[in-house]
A and B are shown apart, each in its own frame.
Chain A
């Protein structure tokens, strides 16, 4: 069994388990536990540690609760969405897993997600290049203005079309990324709820 912990060791252990959480969430959680110890008083430190329970269990509960509440919120921006997915992945690892099968399922899901995000990124790149080609075409068209009017018209038309299409693709990719992120967060939430129920 373990040796008796001190408050500092407890907080350190918790911090280590929660280190991958977004910074302010980590700080809020640590503040709560610091305050709990302060309210319990140094003379009741051992009792406080006993009452709080294992830091690893505490950390898992914090992570799964965060992932669950993330999964019920819609993603407002890409950064928040990425945070939600990060917490979701952490939470998947926090579910008590007895079955290697579940691990395989999680691995497959993560690889699929990776593929989806690579596709989204590729789409975004295509959009960016198309958008960049637009102005280039327009500049080239200007050189043809005096020489060959139909070619000028053709080039400027192509340039505008590229520009428009490129911007449309970039916009589309951002929307798709946001949707994918909130979809992921929701999926993690459902997995966690199921995992929790299976565990009960």
Chain B
């Protein structure tokens, strides 16, 4: 990948996945894989950190005679998701402006 996701971006990706629908480790890994070449084992510490910060919480769901640990967003997690999402939005907008050679604001009346 040319653009590896940074830590906050990875947080946003994971929170977005879980915000859409409660999910579990393997499934989240499969989605992250489409935008990052990070090893799947690296997802566990990130999920643990999100849980330690009470952004996500877990619950067990029985499946084929075993338990699967699902992650869901907490209220705090949803807030953090919106915060990251907004920042991502303004960041990409600014990036787009630059790479598309759009007019830089305030460029017309130079004071110097």
Q: Which residues of A contact B (CB under 8 A)?
A: 28-29, 31-33, 35-36, 38-40, 48, 51-55, 57-58, 61-62, 64-66, 68-69
- Which residue from B26, B46, B47, B52 sits with its C-beta under 8 Å from A39? B26
Are A51 and B44 interface neighbours, CB within 8 A? no
B82–chain A nearest beta-carbon distance, Å: 22
Are A36 and B40 interface neighbours, CB within 8 A? yes
Query: Using Cβ atoms and an 8 Å threshold, which residues of chain A touch B41?
Result: 33, 52-53, 55, 57-58, 61
Query: Using Cβ atoms and an 8 Å threshold, which residues of chain A touch B39?
Result: 51-54, 57-58
Query: Using Cβ atoms and an 8 Å threshold, which residues of chain B touch A40?
Result: 26
What's the Cα separation between A30 and B47 when bound, in Å?
14
What's the Cα separation between A111 and B46 when bound, in Å?
32
Are B25 and A32 interface neighbours, CB within 8 A? yes
Q: A51-B33, A69-B49 are in contact. Are A39 and B24 (CB under 8 A)?
A: yes
B27–chain A nearest beta-carbon distance, Å: 7
A184–chain B nearest beta-carbon distance, Å: 19
Q: DSSP majority for the A interface? A: helix
- Which residue from A36, A51, A55, A69 sits with its C-beta under 8 Å from B52? A69
Q: DSSP majority for the B interface? A: helix
Are B44 and A35 interface neighbours, CB within 8 A? no
A-B residue pairs in contact (CB < 8 Å), sample of 30: A28-B48, A29-B44, A33-B41, A33-B44, A35-B66, A35-B68, A35-B69, A36-B25, A36-B26, A36-B29, A38-B66, A38-B68, A48-B40, A51-B29, A51-B40, A52-B39, A52-B41, A53-B39, A53-B40, A53-B41, A54-B39, A57-B41, A58-B41, A58-B44, A66-B45, A66-B48, A68-B49, A69-B49, A69-B52, A69-B53
Least CB separation from B67: chain A residue: A35
Question: Which 8 pairs across A and B sit closest by C-beta, in order of nearness?
Answer: A53-B39, A58-B41, A65-B45, A39-B26, A52-B41, A51-B40, A69-B52, A52-B40
Query: Using Cβ atoms and an 8 Å threshold, which residues of chain A touch B46?
Result: 65
Least CB separation from A69: chain B residue: B52
